[in-house]
C-alpha cells in the first residue's frame, strides 16, 4: 500500500501524534524516544499534540482517592537507611539501587569531571522467548556527542547485543563499552563500539556475574581502546543495567 | 497535612503554584511533593479511572504515577509541557500501559468503542477556564470536522488506549487501512489545530 510505503518520509508531526496516542509499537516508540532526548524540535511537536489533545481528558470529574494510596506512596518514596543522599544526585529515571558502591563513586567523579550531560533512559524491551535467565538492558545517550545506543545482555546465553542509532567517536578515537560492577572498583571492558547498526557478541562469564546492580558505561578512548584496561578517557554516558 | 484533596482544590491551583511544587519536589522536598499530591491526586485519579474503569487498578496506577512524578520531577521542564499537562500525561500514559497489559493478559477489554464515553466537562474554574476554553473548543471543533467514525477512532486511541490493531478490529478494516485512515485524520487535525 502506497501510504504505508511512503510512511517513513512522512512528517514528524504525524509520528509525534502517533506517539502521543500511544499508537507506535515498542521498537518504534523506543527509537522515537531516543530522538526525543536529542531533538528539541521533536519535543515541541509532542508538546503541541499533548497540549491540544489534553482537553479531551482534562475535563474528567475529580475523584478523591482513598487515603491508603497516599500512605503507600509515602512508604514507597521513604528514604531507605543507606540511600540518604541529595535527590539531585540521581542519574537515572529509576533511581539508584540501595547499595552505593565505590565503583559508583568513581563513576560520579568521572562524570562530573568530564562535564558531560548525559541523558539516560531505561526502556522495557520484550525479552526473546528463548531466554531463561534475566536479560539486562541499558539505553544510553550522550547529548553532547549525538551518541545513542541500546544495549542488552542475555545472562543465560552470555550474549551482548548493541544497536548504535547514532554517534561516532572523533578522529583517532574509539568508544569503548564497559560494565561497572555494583561492588567492585574495576570496570570490565565489553570491547569497542566499532561497528554500525546492531551487533551481537559473546561476553565473558565475569561480565555476566557483574550485571546484577551494575552500570553500563561508554568511554572515549584512543583508537584501539583503553591502553590500561580501565577507562582512561571521558565517560560519555552511563546507565544502570536493569532486568526485564 | 490534609488526608486528600477536596475536589475543588485543583481548580484553584495556578500554573505557577504547580510549577513551584514540582520544582521543590525535584529537589527532594517531600512536603512539597505531598502537597502536590493533595492538590492534584483527585484529578489524576479521575484520569486513571476514566481510562481503566476499574477502581482497584486505578488506585494501583495512581501510586505508580506519583512515584514517577517524585522521581522525574526534575525532567518535566525539558518536555516543554505546562505542568498540569505533564502530570495528566504521566497519569494517562501509565493508565494506558496498564490497560494494555490487562488486554495482553486476556483480561476484560474495557473501553469498548461502541460505548466510548465522552468525558464530561467539569467546570474548570475561572483561572483554568481562561486558558482552557479556546483550546478545548478547538480540539472538539477540529474532531467534528472529521468523519464521525474517524473522530471516534482518534478518541478511542487517546482515551481508551486502543492500538492500530484494536481499531482495525473494531472497524473491521485491514490494519494498513486503519493506519492510513488515522494518519490522514491526524494530518487533517494538525491542519485544523494550526489554523
Name the grid cell of B155: 478518541
Average pLDDT score, chain A = 72
Distance from C-alpha of B74 to C-alpha of B28, rounded to nearest angstrom: 10
Domain with B154, as residue range(s), is: 124-195
Chain A, chain B: beta-carbon pairs less than 8 Å apart: 178
Whether residues A91 and A54 share a domain: the answer is no
Model pLDDT, residue A39: 80
Instruction: Give residue for cell 492534584.
Output: B40
The verdict on residue B136 lying in a domain is yes
Q: Which residues are registered as beta bridge partners of A200? A: A161
Residue B54 has pLDDT above 70, yes or no: yes
The verdict on residue B46 lying in a domain is yes
Of the candidate ranges A84-98, A131-145, A155-169, B85-99, the one whose mean pLDDT is the lowest: A84-98
Whether residues B107 and B131 share a domain: the answer is no
Whether residues B17 and B108 share a domain: the answer is yes
Domain boundary among A58, A78, A99: A58
Whether residues B130 and B60 share a domain: the answer is no
The verdict on residue A215 lying in a domain is yes
Average pLDDT score, chain B = 82
Whether residues B138 and B62 share a domain: the answer is no
Residue B129 has pLDDT above 80, yes or no: no
Distance from C-alpha of A12 to C-alpha of A18, rounded to nearest angstrom: 10
Q: Which residues are registered as beta bridge partners of A192? A: A176
Residue of A nearest to B124 (CA): A59
Whether residues A100 and A186 share a domain: the answer is yes
Q: A244 pLDDT band (50/70/90 cuts)?
A: low
* Count of the separate structural domains present in chain B: 2
Domain boundary among B49, B81, B112: B112
The verdict on residue A114 lying in a domain is yes
Distance from C-alpha of B50 to C-alpha of A119, rounded to nearest angstrom: 33
The verdict on residue A6 lying in a domain is yes
Model pLDDT, residue A97: 37
* A62 and B7 Cβ atoms separated by less than 8 Å: yes
DSSP B111: -
B163 reaches A (C-beta below 8 A): yes
A29: helix, coil or strand? Answer: helix
For B14, phi then psi, to 5°, come to: -85, 165
Whether residues B90 and B158 share a domain: the answer is no
B132 reaches A (C-beta below 8 A): yes
The verdict on residue A198 lying in a domain is yes
For A28, phi then psi, to 5°, come to: -65, -40
Whether residues A165 and A118 share a domain: the answer is yes
Domain with A123, as residue range(s), is: 87-243
The verdict on residue B119 lying in a domain is no
* A140 and A238 Cβ atoms separated by less than 8 Å: yes
Whether residues A13 and A53 share a domain: the answer is yes
Distance from C-alpha of B142 to C-alpha of A234, rounded to nearest angstrom: 50
Within 13 A of B32's CA, how many CA atoms are on the CB side?
16
The verdict on residue A63 lying in a domain is no
Whether residues A44 and A144 share a domain: the answer is no
Calculate mean pLDDT across residues B150-157.
95
Domain boundary among B77, B112, B147: B112
In chain A, how long is the greatest CA-to-CA distance?
63
The verdict on residue A68 lying in a domain is no
Distance from C-alpha of A152 to C-alpha of A203, rounded to nearest angstrom: 11
Whether residues B75 and B151 share a domain: the answer is no
CB spacing of A65 vs B183 below 8 angstroms:
no
Whether residues A116 and A204 share a domain: the answer is yes
* A212 and A182 Cβ atoms separated by less than 8 Å: yes
* Count of the separate structural domains present in chain A: 2
Contacting residues of A for B31, CB less than 8 Å apart: none
Q: Which run of H or of E encompasses A201?
A: strand A198-202
Determine the straight-line distance between the first and last CA of chain A, rounded to whole angstroms.
36
Q: Which residues are registered as beta bridge partners of A152? A: A137, A161
Name the grid cell of A212: 546484577
Domain boundary among B112, B140, B161: B112
Whether residues A32 and A144 share a domain: the answer is no
Whether residues A42 and A119 share a domain: the answer is no
A41 reaches B (C-beta below 8 A): no
Whether residues B152 and B78 share a domain: the answer is no
Contacting residues of A for B59, CB less than 8 Å apart: 65-66, 68-69
Residue B125 has pLDDT above 60, yes or no: no
Chain segment A175-231, per-residue pLDDT in tens: 888 888 877 667 888 888 877 777 777 787 788 888 887 888 888 888 888 887 788
Contacting residues of B for A59, CB less than 8 Å apart: 119-122, 124, 136
Query: In sequence order, which residues have a C-beta less than 8 Å from that of residue A222 and are 6 or more positions away?
Result: A172, A173, A174, A232, A233
Model pLDDT, residue A180: 82
* B189 and B180 Cβ atoms separated by less than 8 Å: no
Model pLDDT, residue B136: 61
Whether residues B100 and B76 share a domain: the answer is yes
Reported in sequence order, the residue ranges of A91-195 that DSSP labels E, i.e. its strands, are 118-121, 135-142, 147-154, 159-166, 173-180, 188-192
Whether residues B98 and B135 share a domain: the answer is no
B98 reaches A (C-beta below 8 A): no
* B182 and B154 Cβ atoms separated by less than 8 Å: yes
The arrangement of strands across the sheet holding A215-222 comes to: A188-192, A173-180, A215-222, A235-240
Whether residues B161 and B189 share a domain: the answer is yes
Q: Which of B49, B96, B159 sits opposite A63 (nearest CB)?
A: B49
In chain B, how long is the greatest CA-to-CA distance?
54
Chain segment A95-145, per-residue pLDDT in tens: 333 333 334 444 443 433 332 223 333 332 333 334 456 777 777 777 667
Q: What is the CATH number of the domain that holds B141?
A: 1.10.10.10
Calculate mean pLDDT across residues B13-39.
90
Instruction: Give residue for cell 473501553.
Output: B111
List all residues of chain B from 48 to 77 with a beta carbon under 8 Å from chain A.
49-50, 59, 62-63, 66-67, 70-72, 74-75
Whether residues A205 and A144 share a domain: the answer is yes
Model pLDDT, residue B107: 58
A117 reaches B (C-beta below 8 A): no
Contacting residues of B for A57, CB less than 8 Å apart: 47, 50, 88, 92, 119, 158-159
A7 reaches B (C-beta below 8 A): yes
Distance from C-alpha of A196 to C-alpha of B62, rounded to nearest angstrom: 41
Instruction: Give residue for cell 494510596.
Output: A69
Assembly ipTM: 0.82
Q: What is the CATH number of the domain that holds B58?
A: 1.10.1740.10
Name the grid cell of B55: 477502581
Calculate mean pLDDT across residues A20-35.
86
The verdict on residue A95 lying in a domain is yes
Amino acid at each position: 500500500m502506497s501510504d504505508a510505503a511512503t510512511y517513513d518520509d512522512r512528517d514528524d508531526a504525524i509520528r509525534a501524534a502517533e506517539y502521543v496516542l500511544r499508537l507506535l509499537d515498542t521498537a518504534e516508540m523506543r527509537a522515537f524516544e531516543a530522538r526525543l532526548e536529542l531533538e528539541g524540535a521533536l519535543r515541541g511537536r509532542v508538546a503541541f499534540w499533548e497540549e491540544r489533545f489534553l482537553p479531551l481528558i482534562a475535563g474528567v470529574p475529580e475523584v478523591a482517592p482513598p487515603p491508603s494510596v497516599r500512605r503507600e506512596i509515602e512508604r514507597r518514596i521513604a528514604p531507605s537507611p543507606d540511600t540518604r543522599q541529595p535527590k539531585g544526585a540521581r542519574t537515572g529515571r529509576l533511581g539508584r539501587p540501595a547499595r552505593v558502591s565505590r565503583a559508583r563513586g568513581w563513576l560520579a567523579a568521572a562524570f562530573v569531571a568530564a562535564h558531560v550531560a548525559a541523558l539516560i533512559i531505561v526502556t522495557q524491551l520484550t525479552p526473546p522467548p528463548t531466554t531463561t535467565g534475566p536479560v539486562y538492558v541499558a539505553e544510553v545517550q550522550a547529548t553532547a556527542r549525538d551518541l545513542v545506543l541500546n544495549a542488552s545482555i542475555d545472562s543465560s546465553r552470555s550474549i551482548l547485543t548493541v544497536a548504535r542509532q547514532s554517534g561516532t567517536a572523533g578522529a583517532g578515537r574509539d568508544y569503548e563499552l564497559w560494565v561497572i560492577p555494583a561492588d567492585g572498583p574495576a570496570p570490565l571492558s565489553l570491547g569497542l563500539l566499532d561497528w554500525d547498526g546492531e551487533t551481537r557478541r559473546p561476553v565473558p562469564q565475569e561480565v555476566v556475574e557483574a550485571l546484577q546492580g551494575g552500570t553500563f558505561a561508554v568511554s572515549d578512548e584512543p583508537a584501539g581502546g583503553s591502553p590500561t584496561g580501565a577507562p582512561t578517557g571521558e565517560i560519555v554516558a552511563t546507565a544502570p543495567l536493569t532486568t526485564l | 497535612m490534609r488526608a486528600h484533596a477536596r475536589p475543588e482544590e485543583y481548580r484553584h491551583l495556578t500554573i505557577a503554584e504547580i510549577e513551584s511544587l514540582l520544582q521543590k519536589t525535584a529537589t527532594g522536598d517531600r512536603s512539597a511533593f505531598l502537597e502536590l499530591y493533595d492538590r492534584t491526586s483527585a484529578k489524576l485519579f479521575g484520569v486513571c479511572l476514566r481510562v481503566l474503569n476499574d477502581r482497584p487498578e486505578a488506585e494501583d496506577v495512581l501510586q505508580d504515577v506519583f512515584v514517577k512524578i517524585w522521581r522525574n520531577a526534575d525532567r518535566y521542564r525539558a518536555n516543554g509541557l505546562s505542568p498540569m499537562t505533564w502530570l495528566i500525561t504521566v497519569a494517562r500514559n501509565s493508565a494506558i500501559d496498564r490497560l494494555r497489559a490487562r488486554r495482553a493478559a486476556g483480561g476484560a477489554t474495557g473501553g469498548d468503542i461502541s460505548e466510548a464515553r465522552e468525558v464530561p466537562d467539569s467546570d474548570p474554574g475561572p483561572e483554568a477556564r481562561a486558558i482552557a476554553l479556546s483550546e478545548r473548543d478547538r480540539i472538539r471543533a477540529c474532531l467534528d470536522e472529521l468523519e464521525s467514525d474517524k473522530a471516534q477512532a482518534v478518541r478511542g486511541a487517546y482515551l481508551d488506549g486502543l492500538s492500530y490493531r484494536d481499531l482495525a478490529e473494531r472497524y473491521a478494516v485491514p490494519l494498513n487501512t486503519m493506519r492510513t485512515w488515522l494518519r490522514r485524520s491526524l494530518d487533517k487535525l494538525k491542519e485544523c489545530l494550526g489554523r
